């Protein structure tokens, strides 16, 4: 193309541009508005398609040629945000606000852009502008959620504003959670009460209110809620869940259970009347009765539960375990011996009976039942381990060692057997190489266990490796530091010649356990 052709093209291009500008100049205001609206609608349509934001921006920019409105600037900013062009998005939304500072959608979008940019506080500040511009419920809710992580009180204020005009169960439950964060139980209860008024059949709200009332010591109110729910609900499973919430809260809060024992008894008396065939409620109720030392009620509830569990061992074992857990060992023996004949081949009944006798410090009867369980199943390592410990306590070393060897023959890395056997050998000063091997096997499996560290330190001490023993006993003290650890620490220090430190360690052991009077002899020896 020659120079003359290029000149002609430039002239034509300029003319076209001038003609376009003049065409815009001669349009009436109504025509300009219609053009702007046409391009804006095109852009919005492309936006809604989700993946055509670049094209949408071009349409919105065409719209700006006819009408530089705040809404169009905001629309462009929205598309730039979707394209993750945050700087461009912020630039356009700020231009929008320059045109109209009361455009709440622009403030909302600016907040979203700032938060996406990692400028959380600036984003919240921007969103706060929305609150003064007749915000929608959604916008208020968003503001409340923005406050929620850092400022529960401001979040509560926003959600309360929503609930004044348009209460909502979901928001009221959120309010209850926020009030809980600031330890305002009245606010929690008020929110949940309002939620339950809006939706009396809401099981989740009922459970939350039941739990809150128990935690606040209002056991009678929680009980009334459960009774009301039983009357309202035709769904047994739903009713059981609500009552289970009440019982679970009582089981987990021994202070409330003791302080309001009469109210708790009223709850327990209702269970066999309202739910005579629901094993979980009956057994939970029995456990709670034991926790307030009411054996008579516990027996009643457990007997009803046992009838339902006829022919099934696990529920009966669970009840027997509850008696033991709450230190009713004699009652456990009576209960388990009553039901054990129904399951003569199940060694677990005998094991639990043995555990109960252990709790009563009756080692001989415990041994009888451990051996009876082993007659049914010789591979129960836990029974052999308990037998080994009993014989060790009785000073019957050969029998104890044989029992430990039975455990290790089945499981060479059994941590409890390795540790206890190693310690027994070290105390007796026998087979220290074997003790060292066993102690190390236990410690390698649980290197943060203070008891295992103490055992290994004691094995090293008895082996004459005093400096090495110090390293392990110091670690045991760092982790726990019980009287035995300090006593051993003193003995090891004495062996290294650090007498002053040894005396201090023995004194600490004696302070922690004044019954170790024999330590006074060690201390007095160096005064």
pLDDT of residue 116: 92
Q: 378, 377, 400: which is closest to 387 by C-alpha?
A: 400
Retrieve residue 221's tokens: 């109110």
- For 404-429, the pLDDT digits (tens) are 999 999 999 999 999 999 999 999 99
First to last CA, the chain: 115
Confidence category of residue 25, pLDDT binned at 50, 70, 90: low
Average pLDDT over residues 82-86: 92
Task: Please list the alpha-helical segments (H only) found in 199-235.
Answer: 203-215, 219-232
In angstroms, the CA 277 to CA 240 distance is 11
pLDDT of residue 391: 97
pLDDT of residue 1: 47
Average pLDDT over residues 25-46: 84
CATH code of the domain occupying 27-135: 1.25.40.10
Ordered DSSP codes for 343-391: STT-HHHHHHHHHHHHHTT-HHHHHHHHHHHHHH-TT-HHHHHHHHHHH
Q: Is 132 exposed, middle or buried (0-12, 13-18, 19+ CB in 10 A)?
A: exposed
Average pLDDT over residues 396-409: 97
Q: 480, 452, 485, 483: which is closest to 470 by C-alpha?
A: 485
Per domain, the residue ranges of the chain are 27-135
In angstroms, the CA 351 to CA 367 distance is 10
In angstroms, the CA 489 to CA 485 distance is 6
Of 473 and 3, the one with more pLDDT:
473
- For 470-489, the pLDDT digits (tens) are 999 999 999 999 999 999 99
Q: 492, 485, 510, 497: which is closest to 524 by C-alpha?
A: 510
């Amino acid at each position: 193309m020659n120079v003359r052709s290029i000149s002609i093209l430039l002239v034509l291009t300029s003319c076209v541009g001038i003609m376009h500008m003049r065409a815009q100049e001669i349009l009436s205001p109504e025509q300009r508005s219609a053009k702007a609206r046409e391009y804006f609608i095109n852009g919005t349509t492309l936006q809604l398609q989700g993946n055509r934001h670049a094209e949408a921006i071009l349409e919105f920019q065409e719209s700006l040629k006819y009408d530089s409105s705040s809404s169009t600037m905001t629309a462009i900013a929205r598309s730039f945000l979707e394209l993750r062009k945050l700087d461009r998005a912020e630039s356009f939304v700020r231009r929008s606000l320059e045109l109209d500072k009361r455009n709440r959608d622009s403030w909302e979008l600016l907040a979203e852009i700032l938060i996406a940019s990692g400028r959380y506080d600036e984003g919240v500040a921007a969103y706060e502008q929305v609150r003064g511009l007749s915000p929608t419920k959604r916008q208020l809710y968003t503001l409340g959620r923005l406050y929620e992580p850092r400022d529960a009180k401001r979040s509560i204020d926003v959600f309360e504003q929503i609930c004044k005009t348009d209460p909502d169960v979901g928001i009221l439950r959120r309010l209850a959670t926020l009030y809980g964060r600031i330890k305002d139980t009245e606010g929690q209860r008020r929110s949940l009460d309002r939620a339950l008024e809006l939706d009396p059949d809401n099981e989740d709200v009922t459970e939350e209110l039941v739990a809150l009332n128990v935690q606040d010591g209002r056991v009678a109110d929680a009980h009334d809620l459960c009774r009301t729910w039983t009357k309202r609900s035709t769904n047994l499973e739903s009713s059981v869940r609500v009552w289970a919430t009440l019982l679970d809260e009582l089981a987990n809060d021994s202070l409330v259970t003791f302080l309001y024992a009469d109210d708790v008894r009223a709850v327990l008396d209702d269970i066999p009347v309202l739910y005579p065939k629901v094993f979980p409620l009956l057994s939970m109720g029995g456990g709670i009765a034991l926790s307030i030392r009411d054996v008579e009620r516990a027996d009643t509830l457990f007997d009803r539960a046992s009838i339902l569990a006829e022919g099934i061992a696990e529920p009966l074992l669970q009840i027997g375990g509850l008696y033991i857990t709450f230190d009713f060992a004699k009652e456990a023996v009576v209960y388990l011996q009553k039901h054990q004949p129904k399951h003569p081949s199940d060694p677990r009944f005998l094991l639990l009976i043995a555990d109960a006798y252990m709790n009563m410090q009756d080692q001989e009867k415990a041994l009888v039942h451990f051996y009876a369980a082993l007659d049914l199943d010789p591979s129960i390592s836990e029974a052999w381990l308990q037998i080994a410990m009993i014989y060790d306590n009785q000073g019957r070393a050969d029998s104890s060692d044989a029992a430990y060897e039975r455990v290790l023959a089945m499981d060479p890395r059994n941590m409890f057997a390795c540790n206890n056997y190693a310690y027994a050998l070290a105390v007796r000063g026998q087979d220290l190489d074997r003790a060292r091997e066993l102690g190390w096997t236990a410690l390698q499996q649980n290197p943060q266990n203070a008891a295992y560290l103490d055992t290994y330190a004691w094995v090293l001490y008895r082996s004459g490796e005093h400096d090495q023993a110090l390293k392990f006993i110091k670690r045991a003290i760092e982790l726990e530091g019980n009287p035995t650890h300090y006593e051993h620490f003193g003995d090891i220090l004495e062996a290294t010649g650090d007498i002053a430190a040894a005396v201090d360690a023995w004194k600490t052991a004696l302070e922690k356990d004044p019954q170790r009077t024999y330590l006074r002899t060690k201390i007095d020896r160096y005064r």
